[in-house]
């Protein structure tokens, strides 16, 4: 699988997957993107289509309802979806890497067999409750607590900016909570909370700048009681385990960002060939042609970065630094390309019905979510021994 970096081409099975998702994105996702964005409505019909294709199960074994693929296959699907709609791409990314993957990586066999078939089949969504009003990049600042009482965890606290947490098919939220102290430091664990548990409330959806068709809510937990066996992984290892999930997730976010960056290139090439000004297509003007050339270079560089990180991960080699590089480079490419595409489109680029306008609004969060650019720089510096 890792030979594609040397040859510059994907193996046939990966190419076939990418082409299948590309056609789905063009035929099913693109026609409804502007409407869902304008209405801030969750695209249930699109999610159902992705579920039918098996996209939610791509990196999971067949014994848990998955497709038997790998994380790179998921990334290819995310890139193709993000070309036309970042909200749809992030719904899949969060559903897999933040929703199902923690259970697959750290769950007991019983937890896996109960939850994964629902999640990998796309019949249900799970969310990961990490961020709090006072704990974002500093996840160690978690204030949500969980104490054991009569064989149950009792959870109190709040979370914010949680993706896939309030849909009609949300069935589970994995919550990070302080479960004690060890050596004077907070002991942070992760606990599975079914969405219908009394005391668990998803607040009103946020009014966001972008990703309007993605489901995002604040969450509150008031004396929420779940069985003690709902602990996910070892007690006190919740934060450490989530850091591993974030390392993987950054590769997936990079794939989303590359899709956005490439989508801006594709739209700009099309528009530059169709739009006439002063008697000729604007693409014949060197200023426009060179701008699009730089956009293509950014997308290519970012794609190479996430391919490299994915290859290292799947070969079992350290990939933390490469994942951070990919996430940072790709998110900046998406934002830069969205700005340039909007300039190329002129007034039309300011109209929400156009894909590039939505990319302009959507892409900023790619430099923030799942680790800000500043956090990536910190991680890269640490890996260099600084």
Residues forming the active site: 370
Packing angle between helix 12-24 and helix 44-53, nearest 10 degrees?
160
Pairwise CA distance, residues 211 & 42, whole Å? 10
Contact (Cβ atoms closer than 8 angstroms) between residue 90 and residue 163: yes
- 264 token code pair: 């801006």
Of the candidates 167, 224, 143, the one whose C-alpha atom is nearest the C-alpha of residue 191 is 224
The position carrying tokens 């791409």 is 89
d(CA 126, CA 122): 10
Helix, strand or coil for residue 271? helix
Structure tokens at 85: 């709609």
User: Taking CA 264 as the corner, what is the angle to CA 266 and CA 346, rounded to the nearest 5 degrees?
Assistant: 105
Kindly report the backbone phi and psi dihedral angles of residue 156, in degrees, each rounded to the nearest multiple of 5, phi listed first: -140, 135
Distance CA 365, CA 210 (A): 8
Question: Residue written as tokens 């009681």?
Answer: 225
Look at the chain and count its residues: 386
Locate 90 and state its tokens. 């992030």
Question: Which 8-state DSSP code applies to residue 127?
Answer: E
């Amino acid at each position: 699988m890792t030979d594609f970096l040397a040859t510059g081409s994907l193996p046939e099975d990966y190419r076939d997957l990418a082409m299948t998702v590309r056609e789905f994105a063009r035929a099913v996702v693109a026609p409804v993107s502007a409407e869902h964005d304008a209405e801030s409505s969750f695209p249930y019909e699109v999610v159902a289509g992705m579920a039918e294709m098996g996209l939610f199960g791509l990196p999971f074994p067949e014994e848990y309802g998955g497709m038997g693929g790998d994380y790179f296959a998921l990334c290819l699907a995310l890139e193709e979806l993000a070309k036309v709609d970042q909200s749809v791409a992030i719904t899949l990314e969060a559903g897999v890497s933040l929703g199902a993957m923690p259970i697959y990586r750290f769950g007991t066999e019983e937890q896996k067999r109960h939850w994964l078939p629902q999640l990998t089949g796309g019949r249900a969504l799970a969310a990961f409750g990490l961020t709090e009003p006072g704990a974002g990049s500093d996840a160690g600042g978690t204030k949500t607590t969980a104490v054991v009482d009569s064989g149950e965890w009792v959870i109190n606290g709040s979370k914010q900016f949680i993706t896939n947490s309030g849909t009609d098919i949300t069935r589970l939220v994995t919550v990070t909570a302080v479960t004690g102290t060890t050596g004077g430091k907070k002991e942070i664990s992760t606990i599975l909370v079914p969405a219908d548990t009394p005391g668990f409330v998803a607040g009103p959806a946020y009014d966001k700048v972008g990703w309007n068709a993605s489901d995002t809510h604040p969450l509150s937990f008031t004396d929420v009681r779940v069985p003690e066996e709902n602990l996910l992984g070892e007690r006190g290892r919740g934060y450490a385990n989530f850091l591993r999930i974030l390392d993987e997730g950054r590769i997936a976010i990079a794939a989303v960002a590359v899709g956005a960056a490439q989508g801006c290139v594709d739209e700009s090439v099309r528009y530059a060939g169709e739009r006439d000004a002063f008697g000729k297509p604007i693409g014949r003007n060197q200023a426009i042609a060179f701008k699009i050339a730089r956009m293509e270079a950014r997308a290519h560089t970012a794609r190479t970065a996430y391919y490299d990180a994915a290859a290292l991960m799947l070969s079992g080699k350290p990939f933390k630094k490469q994942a951070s590089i990919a996430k940072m480079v790709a998110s900046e490419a998406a934002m830069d390309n969205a700005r340039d595409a909007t300039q190329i489109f002129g007034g039309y680029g300011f109209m929400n019905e156009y894909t590039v306008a939505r990319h302009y609004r959507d892409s900023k969060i790619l430099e923030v979510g799942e680790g800000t650019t500043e956090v990536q720089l910190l991680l890269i510096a640490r890996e260099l021994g600084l």
